[in-house]
Structure formats: C-alpha cells, structure tokens
A and B are shown apart, each in its own frame.
Chain A
Amino acid sequence: MSGRDVLERIRAAGYDCHVAMVTAVDPDFDILEMGFDDYVTKPPSREELRTVVAQLVDRADTADRLQEYHALLAKQSALRAEKTAEVLESSDDYASLQARIERVRAEIEASADVFLDDATFVTALRNADEGGAEK
C-alpha cells in the first residue's frame, strides 16, 4: 500500500489527525501538497522520529490557539454590534473577554517561531485553504 493510500484510508475513516510520511527521497513540497503534514527521510533515526512527532504536537497546539483567538474575536465583534460602547465598558464579562483575547494573542506571538519551519508554515496555510480556521 502506498503512502497516498494510507492517507486516504485515514481520512476516509474520519480521523482528523496529523500524518507524517517516512519517505525514501526528500519530497519537500510535494508531500505537503498531497495532504501530509510532515515527513522524515529513510532511514529515520530515533531522534528524528521524536522530533517530527513533537513538532506535530506543537503545531496542533498552535492551530488550536489560532482557532480560539478567532472565535474570541468573533464573539467580541458580535457584542460590539449589538451593545453600545457605554454598556460594554461597564460589563465585567466584556472586560474579561478582552483580557482573554490579549492573553491568547500574546501566546500566539510568543510561539510565532514555529512558522520559521517551512513544513509547519506551509501546512498552517494549507489548513486555512481547507477552511481549517473554522473547524
């Protein structure tokens, strides 16, 4: 069974997990365009396998935070549309929503280094392409 077949079966079964491929040659962008999230070249060392798994976990955390951030912005936007500025200013809930937005934003800023990694960067944009930001 080819790597592509394995990926198709995983997706067909409804698993929304990250998938890295072990490949014979350096496939670079091709593998990302095929839908894989990352790769290691054969034969992978124990260290390389650990690294790629750790990076996929980090990446899932970053994606979660980005999604949380946008959910919070949408909530803030809805509140601004239906309430006056005076009402919002005196609302404790609104103040804590704003504090949370700032906190998540700071967390995202602090972890922006992950996007220096080419595979992480391209798959993050691919997720936006697939509507991942709304999932």
Chain B
Amino acid sequence: MSNGTTRRAVLKSGLLSSLLALFQKPVATSAHQIEKYSGSCGVLVDLTRCVGCRSCEAACNAENRLPPPQVPFTELSVYEKKPNQHRRRTDETRYTVVNRFEIPGREHPLFKKVQCNHCQEPACLTSCFVNAYTKTPEGAVVYNPEVCVGCRTCMVACPFYIPAFKYSSSFKPQIMKCMFCYETRLQHGKIPACVEACPRDALVFGLREELLQRGRRRIANNPDMYQDHIYGEFEVGGTSWLYLSDIPFDIAGFDTEITHEPILNSVTGFLGLVPMVLTIWPALFTGFHLLSSRKDRQKNEDDTPVTDNSQDEREGK
C-alpha cells in the first residue's frame, strides 16, 4: 500500500461511478446524422417503373444457385393472392420476391420488390451474439454461416422480416438472406444480379448519396406523380436500398410507423445495464449478506466458546 491505494477505495469509487452511470441519461444520437459508410453503395427502387416481369427473381435465383422454382419465373399467376393468404415473402429458396398490389384508382397494379434492405445500422448484426453478420464498406450486410449457431435472433430483430432459416438443414444452421451479391459481384466491381437484370431501370445501383440525389430529382421533376419521400433515407437509421413510390408507402405495404432511429438505439440503454447487473450485483449482495450475517456469526461465536472438545461432545450426543 505504498501508493496510498486501498482495496476499499477502489471498490468504493467503482461502486460510486457505476451508480452514477445508472442515473445518467444515455447520450442522445440522431440517426439523421449518421455519416458512417460515406462511400457505401445502394439501390434505388422506383416502384412506378416496375412492371412485375420477375427478371430480378430469376437472376437472383441463378446467381445464388438457389433451388429451382416450383413454376417458371415467367409465370405471373404467383401474383394471385387468395383472401386469407399471406403475401409472398423471402424464404430459404428465394432471397427476393416481387408482390403485386391492386390499388383502387391506380391504372395499373403496383409491383413491389422485397429483399434485404442492407441497413446502415443493421439490427440483425447488432442482435447476433456470435458476430456472424458484417457490414462491408460497400454497404452490404453479409452473413457467415460458419460461426452461426442457429439461434435465429436476427430473424426476430429484423424490422423488415427478411432473414429466413434453412429449416431443411437444422443441424447445420444457416440463415438465408440477400447478401447484395457481395461475394460474387460487388467485391469485383460488378453490380448485383437483380439490378443488372432489370429491363426498365426500376432498380438502379450506385453510391447511396448519389441515389438520394437521383431520387430527389425524380420527385422534383414529377411532384404530381411521386410521393415526397424516399423510403429508406431515414427509416431505421437509413437503409442501402431506397424506394420511390407514386402511392402512399403504407398502402404499398411499407411499414411507415417504423422508427427513424437505428434499432440499436432502443436497446442500448437496457443492454448497457446488463454487464453491470451481472458483475456488480452479485458482489454487492454477497457483501450485504456477509455484513448482515456477520453479527449473527459473531454472536454465535461469543455465546459458545469454541473448545477442542466441544465438537466431539456434540457428536457424542
């Protein structure tokens, strides 16, 4: 104890600072000011241009070597939706699907492509405790099946219900989701397969900032047609895939109630407490217990003077 630090002082200051931390407000962060991944890429989806040809679905299937479809990709009957049927969604056999929406008053049905939106602050990545997910500088959210334990927390965490589980091979768990063609294309300077397949440039690949410019310009040039919003600019802290639409986004099946903060922000407060609860509480309450039981122990020791024979006597009785 030559430097004047005692164990008591360390414990006291540690306890004090963690107690202070408990009552401090978390630092407010604004999702709109995220400047991470400034050179990241994205895709601008213009729903006014999509005619539902399903070329993107076919290209995705071939690129990712997914199982053959039940009906050919030229088949448009897949858009028929029975009253109690859910809309088609991504699963272990398809990373992207196009859905048709019959909009009253709109001349043609609306087609909406669904795939991983490659969030700027991905909830799947945050929720994964084995770090199977990575956000690459190009903007892709990629997944590594080698470390995945198949807990499927990412499926719960995703606000867009995108990651699908490969139930056909549960012993070798694998999450199936769009990877932005990162391994096969993006890495090598090629654009994603679905974008390349789109005949009407309903999908346009580019730098995210540039796509936002493009989107804003299209809205400005055609204010009567477009909704004055780019879905994905702010949603859940921003996504790499951005959507333009001519009808309100909630009618087109988008979640417009979704937070503009990264999903991470709504759990940091709670998650910050977890290590404290796990490390400090046991020590603290053990201390309390020892303190409160100390008196009893001392009392017992005072009342019954311990002698060498006392143990043997008790056992003898």
Q: Do chains A and B interact in one complex?
A: no
